Amino acid sequence: MLKNFKQDMLELIKQKNWEKLKKQIPSLPIPDITDILNNIDNAEKIIILGLLRTDIQADVFSEFDIETQKQIITSLTENQIKKIVSELAPDDRTELFETLSPKLTQHILNILDADERKKVLEFLGYPDNSVGRLMTTEYVALKIDWTIKQAIQHIKEWGKDAETIDMVYVVDNSWKLLDDIPIRRILLANEDQTVKDIMDHHFISINVNADQEDAIKLFRKYNLVALPVTDSNNNFLGIITVDDILDVLQEENTEDIAKMSAVDIETKDLGFITDLKKVPVKTIFKSRIVWLFALLLMDLITGGIIQGFETTIAKYVVLVTFLPVLVDTAGNAGSQSATLVIRALALGTVQKKDWLYLLGKELTVSSLLGIVMGVGISIMGFVRGKSFLIAEVVVVSMIVNVIIGSLIGILLPFIFAKFKKDPATASTPLITTLADIIGTGIFLSIAFLILG
């Protein structure tokens, strides 16, 4: 039914029947209006936006991806820009301004009223990826000495403009945060009780300058729907809601996937992965060439190692046939251990101080893995090499390579974290390349020592 209604709306747009659209399209849910607008060109988008109430315009606009928002902004009149930007939630507004060019940002700031301009500049003053960039000031706050009747009246009056009323917040006269209270507890309380009577003084908050990943950990640990934000003096500044955290999680996961694949992108360009069809060839090329070229230079080292053992290889040519499987297995083992550590660091279940414990644990696991893989390749080492000595070289090399590859995989994320880099930068291609270099050296060195 809804699908047919959307088709009807698209047909009305095709017919340019704006009068009928003005009556019918506002009745649709915001995500469905956005879906319809995503299927038409920007000129028609602007016309449809003009048919909607200002508050609905802002809600629909906030649903668009950043690139679409930027394209629309540059096509609107100053009055339209002012209305939409003023109606945007603070967190959505901040996200938009972060991606605009300095010239366009300044132009929009000049359009806004003084109070709105002050709010935007205040939010943009917080560090990149900080909680301050994510929070909204649209919440409901109560005073400690109010009765429940007064509190409910206040919620009814101000709740319609709040980001969420699942939780309301208690502040003193200096606007310091005293508690957060689920709306359920207020509704079930007696009207003659005070807010103080139903407080438990147990609440979780986060500093405005904290990293967004810290907020994610708190949401996950305490199953929050909203998280209050304070400054170092416990002054109540705003809240983060779970929908904002879900957006950040998607960005973080996308960024980690890119880094683990050795694709060089900035956080603001994450649409490169999520909407690949629209990305210019130049952008794709730039994001991939740096790492590929760096890994190419590293791979040249492998060739130099092989050249250094050319006498041994010339005498035992069969050794070359085992080289790919040995270094690939080492790289795969390293990628496995790195993936486990990167995820554990991201979830907070492992800290940087745990590196030595995990190194010892991985040494045990990788030794067992290496022995199993060594036994697995031993028969082929004897059959193909037609020599117990060749089989011995292959088995010993497999065991050592799996151990070394695994230890590289476990250590690299900790090394990157130590230097305040994203552990995901310890990408699969980087680990594989290091395993190629070190594994080749180990294999040919063992062959030289055993075979002479």
CATH number attached to the domain at 276-451: 1.10.357.20
Q: Does the pLDDT value for residue 257 go beyond 70? A: no
Q: Are 316 and 394 in contact (CB under 8 A)?
A: no
In the numeric block, the tokens 């009807």 are attached to: 8
C-alpha to C-alpha distance for 90 and 83, rounded to whole angstroms: 14
Q: Does the pLDDT value for residue 136 go beyond 80? A: yes
| Residue 26 burial (CB count, 10 A) | 13
3-state helix, strand, coil in the chain (%, to 5): 70, 10, 20
> What kind and span of H or E run contains 141?
strand 141-143
Average pLDDT, the chain: 85
Question: What are the sequence ranges of the domains in the chain?
Answer: 2-125, 141-246, 276-451
Q: Are 95 and 243 in contact (CB under 8 A)?
A: no
Q: Are 205 and 228 in contact (CB under 8 A)?
A: yes
C-alpha to C-alpha distance for 92 and 95, rounded to whole angstroms: 5
Give the mean pLDDT of 108-114. 80
Our CA angle for 343, 347, 349, nearest 5°, is 100
141-246 architecture in CATH? Roll (3.10)
At 262 the pLDDT is: 56
Domain 2-125 has CATH 1.25.60.10: yes
Which backbone phi and psi does 124 adopt, to 5 degrees? -70, -10
Pairing status of strand 167-171 against strand 141-143: parallel
C-alpha to C-alpha distance for 349 and 335, rounded to whole angstroms: 19
The predicted-structure confidence for 383-432, as pLDDT tens digits, reads as follows: 887 888 898 999 999 999 999 999 999 999 899 888 877 777 666 778 88
Give the mean pLDDT of 55-81. 83
Give the mean pLDDT of 61-87. 83
- Per the model's pLDDT, the better-predicted residue between 337 and 100 turns out to be 337
Q: Are 60 and 49 in contact (CB under 8 A)?
A: yes
The SS3 assignment for 428 reads helix
Give the mean pLDDT of 81-98. 82
The predicted-structure confidence for 361-382, as pLDDT tens digits, reads as follows: 999 999 999 999 999 898 888 8
> What kind and span of H or E run contains 117?
helix 114-124
Give the mean pLDDT of 50-69. 83
Strands lying side by side in the sheet with 167-171: 141-143, 167-171, 177-182
Position 275 confidence tier, pLDDT thresholds 50, 70, 90? low
The SS3 assignment for 448 reads helix
At 306 the pLDDT is: 86
What is the residue type of 361?
Answer: K
pTM of the model: 0.58
Q: Does the pLDDT value for residue 265 go beyond 80? A: no
At 267 the pLDDT is: 47
Q: Are 348 and 422 in contact (CB under 8 A)?
A: no
The SS3 assignment for 432 reads helix
Give the mean pLDDT of 97-117. 77
- H helices, E strands: number in the chain: 21, 6
